[in-house]
Amino acid sequence: MNRLPERLGEVIDRGTTLSFSWNGQEFSAFAGDTVVSALAAAGQRVFSRSFKYHRPRGLLTASFHDPGCMVQIGDEPNVRGAHRLVTDSMVVTSQNTWPSLRFDVRGANRLVGRFLAPGFYYKTFIRPQRLWPTYERVLRQFVHAGEISPDTRVEHRSTRFAHPDVLVAGGGPAGMAAAVAAARAGARVLLVEEEHQLGGHLRYVGSPAELAELRTEVTASGVEVLTDSVVLGRYDQNWLAVLQRGSGERLIKARARVLIVACGLIERPYVFAGNDLPGVMLSTAVRRLINLYAVKPGERAVVLTANSDGDAAVRDLLDAGVEVAEVVDARSGGDILRAHGRRGLRTVELPGGRRIEADLLVTATGWTAPTALLNQAGDVPVYSAAAARFLPGGKASEDVLAVGGLAGDGTLDELRAHAGAVGAEAARRAATHRYRQLTRTPTAVAGRAPVGGPIEIPDLPVHEHPALFRAKSHGMVDFSEDVSSSDIHLAVREGYDSAELAKRYTTATMGPLQGKLEMVNAIAMVAEATGRSVAETGTTTWRPMYAPVTLGALAGRTVQPVRRSPMHAWHQANGAVPLVAGQWIRPDHYGDPAAEVRAVRTAVGIIDVTPIGKLDLRGPDVPKLLNLLYVNKWSKLAVGRVRYGVMCAEDGVVLDDGVTGRLGPDHYLMSTTSSGAAAVWEWIENWLQTERPEWNVHVTPVTTSYASVNVAGPRSAELIGRLAEGVDLTDFEYMNVRTARLAGVDGCVLWRIGFTGEPSYELHVPAGYGLHVWETLLAHGEDLGVRPFGVEAQRILRLEKGHLIVGQDTDGLTRAFSAGLDRLVKLDKDDFVGKPELLWQHDQGAQTRLVGLQPVNGQIVPPEASQLVAADTTRIVGRVTSSRMSPTLGRSICLAQVEAALAGPDTEVTVLLPDGRRIPARVTEHLAHVDPHGARLHTAGTPGTFRQHPPPVARSPIRTAAHAVGGSPNAALTLADHSALAKVVVRAPHAKAMAASLGVPFGRAARAADGTLVIGAGPGEWLVLGPADSGDGLLKQLRRQAEEVGGFVSVVDLTHGRAMLRLTGDRAADVLASVCAIDLDSDFTPNGAALRTSVATLVTDLVRDDQQGVPSYLLHCERSSGQSLWDAVLDAGAEHGIEISGEPTPSPEE
Amino acid sequence: MIQLPCPWCGPRNVTEFRYAGERTPRPDPGTATPRQWRAYLYLRRNPCGVVEENWYHTAGCRRFFTLHRDTASNAVKETR
């Protein structure tokens, strides 16, 4: 056993013994031991075989970045064995060794080493190319990467957003001093340390008392400390990726106002023959082993020292009872020549030829500055020949500062004083930056501007250090890639004579260590081979990631939000086959789409069309807007009428279509395609905000405020009559709109329109009642043969009727005249979007036309996108855009885009099927295959008489597991469904009369005297919340208020359009920090703050509304995403013990 | 990820916004020649330097705004 008696400052807990296995053999460890320290204590010296030559490898650095200590733990490959702590019953194996670590047959590679020179694989396996699959299979056996198991459990790693004023990367003495100084100056500080404890090199070189004092200061100053964590990369504006290891990796996305880089220095290996033999170690490695883990690193040592750390290592070795056979002092010209041994070091050969028996060779020949984060901040580190290392170039942006060994040398006191000044200055810069941000953030209360000028930062000395890179023999430069100094010399001889080229050709610095140990040596070898200096040779760029990270941590939670209609649960329960359309889940069909089509044609069918985009338009200038955006005319649309319209983009390409109805003098309801809803809304806002800001129009998206159901078929009027009150159905012609009470639900909007070609009613029902109306339709229509139909039946029905689908029968090049819209486009209008292009298309004639098409053999359905070709040639003259078998006609029917010359009725064209067959097809006279003159549409039949129905029940969009509700009223962290609250949106000019009357500015929320919560939700936009069922009263009151103040104000009820939840508890902000990138600190988001942002990728309004002093947040999003938001917050809250509170609300399943 | 200074909401991550392109004034549709109109549709300056561009705060205030951004450094000069 190599375990030493207790050491002052050791990190192992001798009171707790753990057992683990290594390659099948049982070992014991103390708590705090790394895998490799425990094995080294038990006398193991070889932990892996090298990448290319399968040379035995042992300890080199005894840190995370030890190239020879990668092991497999359970099903986790490539674990850094000199960093990972032992846990009880851990199963550890060596990687890429066969048949065993001790005897690896592929070690024979070392005998053919001269054939494995750089470029060996490129040069050897390039020909013949057909043999590559074989080569690949064989070469795969030599890859050094452990094994992954396909059975590995899928874990979702949570992420977290952090907003520190100062983030300190590195928790050594300088980092700790900087963090403490910054925190004392009032900054919120996050201190990130890669090791398991704070302290850096002080842990194994300093006095434990001094370290304890620094740690106490860190704790006392309120710094947040993350150990076993690392800053992976720095991106623009100090966006930092921080990896928190420990149990399951977690990515922290931090936006730091100032970054302090305190990474310290990494000891550099020396290049000589045999420098990778087990037993050759860096001075920091032996000091870690002795002082942290109480492991005796060897019995008889030779030490090559060029600095005081090497000298100190000699003292530590003697103290640990190691016999020091020889100290070779490089400062006085001493050197070693090579190391000998097979499975480990046996003798050290000095330049004169003298050999010294030893099992340990310790080198202390200089340092590498890991300047990665500085490089990523725009700095170009410069090589100091005197110090033999790179130093900061001073070009980093001003929000990035360096302290500690990276910045210079000096005594511990000098380094601490420097870091303290930098920390204080960082806090000052952060405070200035923070104040600037607070003054620009409407939710925040800025407070007073920070005072005080820059803090003077003392200069750090830079000590001279001998430039030692290589002995008079060749050895390893890159230990993880098996690249030797002679390989780099060869690469230079072959012409790869710059550092960037030689690196890529030899793969030096490209292995798992990414240059941390080998970068300077590699540059020095290129310099040596080219006869240039290291400074002339330059450096390579340090890119993110600085340390390895699992893909799982980068991915975080990958759940995609899903949108559901209020009838979603009914569809699920009734055998609907789901269709994912964008974010929506819709019923494709309920088993037999053809039967669904027949039901619509002969009786009546109902389809859930909730995803259809719906925009509430209010204001005197709506007709101007419609005239501008649609290609047809809108000035004369009477109240109670609806009209079909098509929008084009400025290039004349068809953008979207839908119907718009006029509900009142200044009130319109626009519908859009389901997939175009968001884009059309943005399109309208774009025109209103940037081109026509003088127009008085308010647009409110109400897509999910309403559940939409299309009731279609010859018996539809009969069915509607059984539900409708307050509307005269006998005076309700095609292309009209009415409001009515349906099955007891007020405020329903009915359109007489149809996509199916049958008489039909499109019902828009306040969404909470959607399921009630849906079920009532089915119950009351049972004797009429009512049947739910899905998207597939609807697609067949509309194809029979020849209605185009934008994006299906048109593409990104289809202008209006190519889409059969000739009669709709009104070129005599002064202006409309896309008019010039359409004018030119009209003058030149459309190149392609949309036509109806029927294959001569009606049993063949040409797949969509089949090409139309000119007879007997392969010249493409068009394509099939839609095709189905028509259950009504009993034959196949299509829509097609075809060259204008071939678009005449009865023209025969050839369809080239994917299997190569050519079939004839004939262009039809009309786009519609069924009822081309629309006779059916106007024969609505006799409306039925009203029937009694069950009382309406408003459902919440959120389904809460019933057993989880009301778990514990006193839980520290609760989530409640508040979707039932009345919600009314008020739109009025920002900062005008109505704003004054409501008394709440954008970004803030406040309770009115009557208890309603008034939220300044947007510029010129307020949301007023009242108790459930108070919606009508609230609406009336706000409309009265609007009339009193005058001016252009609109008031829209959104009660049914929003899902709302409340998250309450002292840890509520921590929960949100994993799904929301907003700084929830009380300066930025105090009680009463209101903002809109992205929460779990959903656009969400967030209002801080504390409850009796406990932080509480109202979150609301559009209704159909409510369940996704609820699930995401519950998921994020799981680790904080979240519970569901409140009364169970009626949900779609009940 | 850079932040953009929304003139209404303050600094926010760029993922909350949608890029609405370089600002290109709309020619008079009554008199524009095809060449002018298609320049409006398709031609952009795309400079290495300061560009005047429109952004839409999709996940925030839902306002369009114009900012002057240096494409080489992402530094934002002015917003309105």
A-chain residues within 8 Å CB-CB of B13? 1077
- The position carrying tokens 């008392």 is A209
Q: A378 — contact with chain B (CB < 8 Å)?
A: no
Query: Strand A166-169 to strand A258-261: parallel, antiparallel, or no bridges (unpaired)?
Result: parallel
Report the distance separating Cα A668 and Cα A662, nearest Å: 4
Q: A840 — contact with chain B (CB < 8 Å)?
A: yes
Residue of chain B minimizing CA distance to A836? B29
Report the distance separating Cα A757 and Cα A712, nearest Å: 9
Among candidate residues A601, A801, A793, A802, the one with its CA nearest the CA of residue A713: A601
Kindly report the CATH class assigned to B3-79.
Answer: alpha beta
Chain-chain contact of B10 with A437 (C-beta, under 8 angstroms): yes
Report the distance separating Cα A810 and Cα A838, nearest Å: 15
Residue A669: which H helix or E strand, with range? strand A667-672
Chain-chain contact of B60 with A255 (C-beta, under 8 angstroms): no
Q: A299 — contact with chain B (CB < 8 Å)?
A: no
Residue type, A852: G
- CA A1033 remoteness from chain centre: 42
Among candidate residues A620, A625, A652, the one with its CA nearest the CA of residue A821: A652
Among candidate residues A159, A158, A160, A163, the one with its CA nearest the CA of residue A237: A163
Query: Higher confidence at residue B67 or residue A152?
Result: B67
Residue type, B15: T
pLDDT of residue A1147: 47
Q: A690 — contact with chain B (CB < 8 Å)?
A: yes
Residue of chain B minimizing CA distance to A1102? B60
Provide the residue count of chain A.
1150
Q: A686 — contact with chain B (CB < 8 Å)?
A: yes
pLDDT digits (tens, 9 = 90+) for A889-921: 999 999 999 999 999 999 999 999 999 999 999
Report the distance separating Cα A99 and Cα A775, nearest Å: 68
For A1092, which of B5, B13, B61 is closest by C-beta distance?
B61
Query: Strand A698-701 to strand A613-618: parallel, antiparallel, or no bridges (unpaired)?
Result: antiparallel
Residue type, A1106: D
pLDDT of residue A109: 61
Residue A693 vs residues A629, A690, A948: alpha-carbon distances, Å: 15, 6, 49
Cis amide linkage into residue A545, ω under 30° from 0: yes
DSSP, residue by residue, B29-70: TTT--HHHHHHHHH-----SSEEEEEEE-TTTT--EEEEEEE
Q: A1093 — contact with chain B (CB < 8 Å)?
A: yes
Q: A691 — contact with chain B (CB < 8 Å)?
A: yes
Contact by Cβ (8 Å): A944, A718: yes
pLDDT of residue A448: 85
Report the distance separating Cα A58 and Cα B67, nearest Å: 57
Cis amide linkage into residue A99, ω under 30° from 0: yes
Chain-chain contact of B56 with A682 (C-beta, under 8 angstroms): yes
For testing the chain B interface, which of A683, A686, A1094 should be mutated: the one with the most B CBs within 10 Å? A1094
Chain-chain contact of A830 with B54 (C-beta, under 8 angstroms): no
Residue of chain B minimizing CA distance to A833? B29
Chain-chain contact of B64 with A689 (C-beta, under 8 angstroms): yes
Helices (H) and strands (E) in chain A, counts: 27, 60
The token duo for A857 is: 């053999």
Report the distance separating Cα A599 and Cα A602, nearest Å: 5
The token duo for A955 is: 């459902």
In Å, how far is A998's CA from the nearest CA of chain B?
19
For testing the chain A interface, which of B4, B13, B35 should be mutated: the one with the most A CBs within 10 Å? B13
B-chain residues within 8 Å CB-CB of A1094? 15-16, 59
Contact by Cβ (8 Å): A614, A620: no
Predicted structure pTM score: 0.93
Burial class (CB in 10 A: 0-12, 13-18, 19+), A827: exposed
In Å, how far is A1101's CA from the nearest CA of chain B?
9
pLDDT digits (tens, 9 = 90+) for B18-47: 999 998 999 999 999 999 999 999 999 999
Contact by Cβ (8 Å): A34, A317: no
Residues of chain A with pLDDT under 50: 963, 1146-1150
pLDDT of residue A156: 76
Among candidate residues A927, A762, A780, A920, the one with its CA nearest the CA of residue A852: A927
Chain-chain contact of A650 with B41 (C-beta, under 8 angstroms): yes
Residue of chain A minimizing CA distance to B61? A1018
For A236, which of B30, B63, B74 is closest by C-beta distance?
B74
Q: A1092 — contact with chain B (CB < 8 Å)?
A: yes
Among candidate residues A333, A328, A372, A375, the one with its CA nearest the CA of residue A354: A328
Backbone phi and psi for residue A669, each to the nearest 5 degrees, phi listed first = -125, 120
A 981-1020 → B contacts, CB under 8 A: 1002-1003, 1018-1019
For A1002, which of B5, B8, B41 is closest by C-beta distance?
B8
Report the distance separating Cα A210 and Cα A817, nearest Å: 82
For testing the chain A interface, which of B14, B43, B58, B64 should be mutated: the one with the most A CBs within 10 Å? B64
Report the distance separating Cα A632 and Cα A828, nearest Å: 10
Contact by Cβ (8 Å): A281, A295: no
